[in-house]
Amino acid sequence: MALGQARRFGGLAALPQVRPQTGQEAAAWLKSNLDGYYSRPARVPPYRSSAAWALRQMDDRFSILRPDTVVLDLGCFPGGWSEVAVERSEVSSSSSRVIGVDSTRMDPMEYHTFIQGDLAKKATTQAILEALGDTRADVVLSDLSPASTGLKQEDHLNSMQCCLHAAKIMERTLKLGGWFALKLTYGSEIGRFRMYLDSRFETVRAIRPAAVRSSRDMFCICKGFIGRQTIASEAKSKNAYTHEGMDRWNGERWLSSQEMLDEDE
């Protein structure tokens, strides 16, 4: 009975049931509401990339981006992560700085410093150090993604290569106690890379934000950078190679294998 008819005959309108009556209705209700929960809110300006929502969700959970911090965004094109970093670190009203690096030129962004260069080259690392000046980054972000081949193992190994480039720059630019957040593709080398991260940070968490659509993409959130230990402190065996860099060869001649063993004793 319609509401008007109910009022005309002095009765009460029959309201439809709010709860789903069948399993199909319940499944449809869950799907529509979950999709709407993780969709972009209309009141929030759109970001340059959908990946920005993954960083927002990680920051909501771990509070990585804060005022008065220096943020280094590796692989920043097209700029979604940098936009979130500028927004969350309150660059416009604090001493925060956001520096983005990518081999592809990005459209200019307010309160943002962009460096164009290949992260695998020393010239790019030098440009980052010059942009940082006398300071070090409080947060290093890496959204580096290789070109997809469609082959799981190759895509995973290419992702690991990007992670190694990001880690190399992180060790040169991140301050002690800082944060490192990076994306990687799941695969066989995850365990070894996780072991490396555990040796450099106090806490390492592997997560997959709800906004991530790819089933193989995941993120590592690393807190409390403790720096790189010397090889001597990491070596446990008696005859392990305990010297680093060229220090071993500063003498007038190279030592034989037996002389090296005798010296270690």
Catalytic sites, residue numbers: 183
Q: 145 Cβ partners below 8 Å, 6+ apart?
A: 75, 159, 162, 183
CA gap 251, 68 in Å, rounded: 47
Residue whose C-alpha is closest to residue 248's, from 233, 226, 227, 263: 263
Contact 54, 219 (CB under 8 A): yes
Give the Cα separation of 170 and 147 in Å (integer).
Answer: 22
Q: What is the DSSP letter of 239?
A: T
| Residues 151 and 125: beta-carbon distance below 8 Å | no
